[in-house]
Amino acid sequence: MSSTIQTKVPLNSDKWTVQKKIKLKEKTSSRGITLWDIAFFLLLAAGAAYLLMYWPDSMNIYEKWILVGMVIVLSALGWYWPAIRKVALISGSMALLAIGMYDGNIANGDQKFWLKYLLSSQSSILWMSAMFIIATVSYWLGYFVERLSWMGSLFTWLGIGLGFSGLLVRWREGHLIAYELGHIPVSNLYEVFILFALITTLFYLFYERRYQTRSLGGFVMLVVSAAVIFLLWYTFERDAAVIRPLNNALDSWWMKLHVPANFVGYGTFALAAMVGFAYIVKHHENTTSWKSLLPVLIVGAMLVAEVFIFGNRGKISIFWLVYFAISLVLVAGILMIRKRLARKLPSFEVLDDIMYKSIAVGFVFFTIATVLGAFWAADAWGTYWQWDPKETWALVVWLNYATWLHLRFIKGMRGLVAAYWALIGLVITTFAFIGVNIFLSGLHSYGQL
């Protein structure tokens, strides 16, 4: 006999009904293959064929299969979500234009206007960062002036297009500097923070479209903006944008599979946490006592306090101290206007559904990434598992979300407990992502600050 761990709440039908959910599923499942789907597949296949014909010696057999697999995966994603086709075509076109303007000479990046100010990798990433910050502000303005909420979606899409273009161009720039420097740009903190921001925003936009609501954009984009702030600090404070050679362990085709899968997990876990935050805000719509809000303030403080790990040898940076103070003020401000926000947010049913699906998707990909990481470790170091700090904390993250899903399936966990757990899960995940590299040196300490 099982009990249910949940918070009993009335369902809000604002912009969401069971009938609409069924219609959306039927629309997706009944969609046939169009000429645009075929054209997109042929374009990707032609690009892959070109690479295999003219640069066969630059890839081993595994990398060639990964390339072919990406054609299939992107084609399937483009069929399921047509917006992916648009962003892929825009990002790819911008990257090809930039590569053509380089004309085989990396020095052109400082000499040609469009490369220097828009199309080079660093310029594109800086523009991506600006778009995500503007998108965050736009989404929050949308809570007060609803007709402005579309701007949040627009700027988020612009940031995604610029971000993916920047990563593709960075891949080519490494080869232009020196052939041995060329590698997929997912090898250090600078590159994976870009990947994290892109994956988190992509998954959010998918749910935005699927549930026909932009009211979660302000919450989700807060964590993306936090990543962008770190990225900008890391770029200018530590000169992180410089392309550096890979060490022997990272110079492997396994990286092309392990790291993206890992960051699908990180991105969706972050998304679930911010949806959980929105759930908590909505739950406390009519709460008058600040004592009842103390738990969310404590969890918020725990989350933003992790920025102190970016200090130098234990010293607290003034920059991150200011960031911490502003973050706490923002959390408190959100709680102060919780009544207005609660009216704009989707129903508890929708929030719970997005939270669950995000964690479920993230858990699957994180599990795949962990298994791939074990194979990679065996290939690089001769053993699948060594209880390295990064491996140990990856297991902690996996167990955390495995328990969350287990309690949902077995005990029917819902509501406030699930929301707080998702938010605390982001604290654990953030430490596993960054903190371990700084405090617990080991075989995986590639992202030193």
Residue 252 tokens read as 């492997």
Q: Return the closest-CA partner of residue 353 out of 2, 21, 26.
A: 21
DSSP string across 296-352: HHHHHHHHHHGGGGGSBTTBPPHHHHHHHHHHHHHHHHHHHTHHHHHHHS--HHHHH
CB atoms within 10 A of CB 417: 15
Question: Measured between alpha carbons, how far is residue 165 from residues 67, 100, 171, 191, 364 in Å?
Answer: 18, 13, 10, 13, 27
- How does pLDDT run along the chain (449 residues), one tens digit per residue? 444 455 444 333 344 444 455 455 545 555 688 999 999 999 999 999 999 998 888 888 988 999 999 999 999 999 999 999 999 999 999 999 999 999 999 999 999 999 999 999 999 999 999 999 999 999 999 999 988 889 999 999 999 999 999 999 999 999 999 988 888 999 888 999 999 999 999 999 999 999 999 999 999 999 999 999 999 999 998 888 999 888 777 888 899 999 999 999 999 999 999 999 999 999 999 887 777 788 888 887 777 766 666 555 556 678 888 888 888 889 889 999 999 999 999 999 999 999 999 999 999 999 999 999 999 988 878 888 888 888 899 999 999 999 999 999 998 888 899 999 999 999 999 888 887 776 666 555 555 55
Q: What gap in Å lies between CA 347 and CA 370, rounded to an integer?
A: 34
Measured in whole angstroms, the distance separating CA 55 from the mean position of its chain's CA atoms is 31
CB 212 within 8 A of CB 284: no
Burial state string for 184-206 with b = 16 or more CB within 10 A and e = fewer than 16: bbbbbbbbbbbbbbbbbbbbbbb
Q: What gap in Å lies between CA 410 and CA 198, rounded to an integer?
A: 33
Q: Return the closest-CA partner of residue 423 out of 240, 285, 235, 271.
A: 271
Q: Which residue has the tokens 């404590």?
A: 298
